[in-house]
Structure 1
Amino acid sequence: MHVIKKSLFLQVVIALILGGLVGFFFPQFAKDFQILGDAFVKLVKMLIAPLVFCVVVLGIYGAGDLKKAGKVGLKTIIYFEVMTSIALLLGIAVAYIFKPGEGMHIDVHSLDAASLSKYNENTHIITSFSDFLLNLIPQTAVGAFTGAEVLQVVVFAIIFGIALSHLPKEVKDPVASAIDKVSQVIFKMMGLIVKLAPIGVFGAVAFTVGKYGVASLMNLGYLVVLYYACVIFFVVVILGGILRLFGFNIFKLMRYLKEEVLVVCGTASSDSVLPQVMEKLTKLGIKNTTVSLVVPSGYSFNLDGFSIYLTLAVVFIAQATGTPLSFHDLIVILLITLFTSKGAHGIPASAIVVLAATLNSFPAIPAVGLVLILSIDWIIGIIRAVSNLIGNCVAAVVIGAWEKDLDIEQAHQMLNHPELAKQSAVLDSELVLPFPVAKDLN
């Protein structure tokens, strides 16, 4: 019992098993537990905006060299765009080669479009480069924190941090010290919330199994299996290959992040582990300035698993509804998804919403075909969120090594001996922040 009490990993495993059992044996009763999973994710999201603001501002303040921060940011964007393009191409290639929707012969007039109406309301989707640029800028400074778009918080924090760095020492030091104190409170709050992760995981798993049933996993099973295999290939071969170029092993990195991966599996949301991941990457030996720029930005720019699913699902719907696609059509779909994939984070049921926007931008494919994949979106969402998380962690390691902001020796020590890396600081009784504490700022 003492081991279970001390280990978040074991607590989440037990919660996953219990949630599955309750959902299987008491499905009607289990549906009432949805509130536990939803409440946990909402509690975490409540603190993400102020947390990201504090980490980015203090990261820029502590960096001192703004040119260095700008160079890291530029390399990060280039890396994200390359990886997103590879993921989108992989999704198209897999769908084109294995043809998961071919032979279904779905009559679009027989599909109930009413079930899609709730996904098309009050949602702004990026469909052009100008739209993408404008979406980076919040309507107001307060709006950056009240909205759901993390990237707007990052942009505001970068401008704030640069401005702060240009002020006289007697002005900027007290401001930085105050932000640091606020960040300590936020991390302590997050520490309290993260202890509720097993409860959130239990509720989310019990609800999904209770509502859809284990048998529902067989519906459209080929598409599910194909997507899982595609994501595993991307993580192990592509991301693993990139890590190998820098001397690291993808399996050791995933073992290092096992608690966070399990929480994401239970909640199907990578938001739920953002603070812990940033802390663990800092402990791995990556400078906090790099972590604070790469990871939050990745939540909007670098959604590898989501990008794979976006193109795979679009081509699947075309095949299922008998819509012929030429090579030119595939290129157009790729260009459209390069933009729509950037609008995923912060949108409820983001996959369905962004897929709807993508299909509306390519009217040759009937958007009502989305009804076909509604029933499997929840199980697709599990590995989609996990792959997004792993992709952003790999990005932090790669950019850190590329910029020589990574302590190679420390990283290998942590990955080879994960027991040395105690649980993330947000879970410890004494908080360890990934940036200088107030006394170091004065």
Structure 2
Amino acid sequence: MSVPAPPAKARSLHTSLFAQVAVALVLGVAFGIVAPEGAQTLKVLSDAFLKLIGMIVGPIVFCVVVHGIAATGDLKKVGRVGFKALVYFEAMTTVALGLGLLLAYLVGPGRGMNIDPASLDGKALGTFQDNARHLQGGGVGAFLLNLIPTTAFDAFARNDVLQVLVFAILFGVSLSLVGGRAGQAVTDMVGALSSVLFKAMGLVVRVAPLGVFGAVSYTVGRYGAGSLAQLLSLVALFYAAVALFVLIVLGAVMRLTGLSILRLIAFFRAELAIVLGTASSDAVLPQVMRKLEILGVKPSVVGLVVPTGYSFNLDAFSIYLTLAVVFIAQATNTPLSLGDLLLVLAISLVTSKGAHGIPGSAIVILAATLNAVPSIPAIGLVLVLSVDWFIGMARAAGNLLGNCVATIVVAAWEGDLDRARAKAVLSDPTVAGDLLRTDAGDPLPEGA
């Protein structure tokens, strides 16, 4: 017999994950200001939390995808879901890139800076530029080859989500074709393993406030809030652009499914707080997949769309890519013709894909884009290095919301969304708690 969830007003703040993370954010900022040197040593807390999450991301993606495909048994459906997801990803990426380009051109955050590219020190770009040339020079063929793991164990060892996804799809399809008692036995075993991994995820998430505290303390201690002053116009414009994209574009898409974007944001408030604190959407990948299933999305859709979207559906990053490129051109007084703007848009459609997991991926892809647009000085990348972490907070949060919406939309498009359940969960947070207590796995912390 399930135990009913306590009423919302009876829940104390110390049991709410969102409240704990919010407090950790405030304390992290305060400690970074008061003791900047000591705060920089706390990065180990953030690194440890991200490693704990990374430890279970690959296995969870594998189990969810394999079990979803094998349990569905309809291979045509799997292909159909994948195709619809890619169509949606490309449409939203184009809109996001166009929005960044339009806002940068209209607002002009870099106008008047009058930066001489010859005065910029490019030493800090060494590694980024090398990785960018490698990413750009590899072409489509190298990108496709990189989707295939050298070995299945190598994909898990390097925690390459895309390679794990490819292996999981192959394994799940094969398992579905085997069928019979042997196939069912393996399917049941994968399902049981998935429950254990979600239990582990529930335990790891409880230390998220420590990870957020360490990340924020380190960042404020090292860079200080003053580092925002020079490029405040770019940072402010980017945050405004992400807000516009989420509320207007994603809001309109959500209305087509009969759901509210504001209620979706409230539903994922704890995950968004963790992402803002760590500037990484990887930190909540397993928990997001779990909560989307609770929302009423079939596991097979969650397993296919969410991991793929982490590399192919980077909405907020796409906004930043074109915004930053035009900002650098404006700051260095580089004239941009209509042809240059269209070239930036075309190149960005390619470079915005598939760099998930590359260290400093935002800077690497931005460098690759600049290298492909000869009229803009690539050395201008130095201008945005100091605020990349602050921009990364909104970038990661926007990407997360974009992937949540993408999963819901594809599920609705495919008929794999329980709309009544979704509306009930979004309307009353206690419903999610009740559903979690009746499902297999570990209940999420209250307030999550």
Shorter-chain TM range is over 0.9
Is the contact made by 1:54 and 1:183 (CA closer than 8 Å) also made in structure 2?
Answer: yes
- Please state how far the C-alpha of 1:184 moved relative to its aligned partner: 2.8
- Where structure 2 has 5 or more consecutive residues not aligned to the other structure, the ranges are 1-9
Number of the residue aligned with 1:201: 212
1:163 to 165, 171, 174: 174
Per-residue CA deviations over 1:367-393 (Å, capped at 9, x if unaligned) read 111110111101100010000000000
User: Is residue 2:113 matched to residue 1:104?
Assistant: yes
Specify the code of the residue in structure 2 equivalent to 1:397.
I
- Distance of aligned partners of 1:358 and 1:30 in 2 relative to their CA distance in 1, 3 Å threshold: same
CA shift, 1:118, in A, is 3.0
Q: Which residue of 2 aligns with 1:409?
A: 420
Q: Confirm or deny: 8 A CA contact 1:219 1:376 kept in the other structure.
A: no
Q: Which moved more, 1:200-209 or 1:341-350?
A: 341-350
Deviations 1:99-143 (A, max 9, x none): 111221111111111111132455752564334323322233223
Match of 2:44 among 8, 12, 35: 35
Alpha-carbon spacing, 1:429–1:157, altered in 2? closer, same or farther (3 Å):
closer
1:419 matches 2:430: yes
> SS at the partner of 1:82?
helix
Once the two structures are superposed, what CA deviation does each residue of 1:398-422 show, in whole Å capped at 9, x if it has no partner? 1111111111111111111122212
Counterparts of 1:26-175 in structure 2, within 5 Å, are 26-121=35-130, 124-125=134-135, 128-175=139-186
Paired residue for 1:368? 379
| 2:406 equivalent among 395, 400, 417 | 395
Q: Are the counterparts in 2 of residues 37 and 202 from structure 1 also a CA contact under 8 Å? A: yes
Distance in 1 separating the partners of 2:355 and 2:281:
12
Residue 16 of structure 1 deviates from its aligned partner by 0.8
Shift of 1:425: 5.6
Match of residue 438 from structure 1: none
Q: For each residue in 1:293-341, what CA deviation from the matched residue of structure 2 results, as whole angstroms up to 9, or x when unmatched?
A: 1111110110000010011111111111122211111111111111111
Shift in CA distance, 300/33, structure 1 to aligned 2, threshold 3 Å:
same
Matching of residues 244-323 of structure 1 within 5 Å? 244-323=255-334
SS of 2:135's equivalent in the other structure is coil
The reply on whether 1:14 has 2:29 as its aligned counterpart is no
Greater shift after overlay, 354-363 or 407-416?
A: 354-363
Change (3 A) 1:126 1:294: farther
CA distance in 2, matches of 1:7, 1:197: 12
Q: Contact 2:196/2:441 (CA < 8 Å) preserved in 1?
A: no
Q: Which amino acid aligns with 2:135?
A: I
Amino acid at match of 2:304: L
Tell me: CA distance 1:403–1:92, structure 2 relative to 1, closer, same or farther (3 Å): same
Distance in 2 of aligned mates of 1:423 and 1:258: 18
Letter matched to residue 214 of structure 2: G
Computed over aligned residues only, the root mean square deviation of the Cα atoms, in angstroms, reads 2.1
CA contact (8 A) 1:58 1:161 kept: yes
Gaps of 5+ in 1: 434-442
How has the CA–CA distance of structure 1 residues 429 and 49 changed in structure 2, closer, same or farther, with 3 Å as cutoff? closer
**Kept in 1: contact 2:49–2:207 (CA 8 A):** yes
Q: Distance in 2 between matches of 1:238 and 1:163?
A: 38
- Is the contact between residue 276 and residue 425 of structure 1 (CA under 8 Å) also seen in structure 2? no
Aligned residue identity for 2:379: V
**In the alignment, residue 282 of structure 1 is paired with which amino acid?**
E
Q: Percent identity?
A: 54
The worse-fitting range, judged by mean Cα deviation, of 140-149 and 274-283 is 140-149
Q: In structure 2, what is the Cα distance between the partners aligned to 1:248 and 1:141?
A: 39
The secondary structure found in structure 1 opposite 2:42 is helix
CA distance in 2 between partners of 1:149 and 1:424 (Å) = 31
Larger mean CA deviation between 180-189 and 247-256 belongs to 180-189
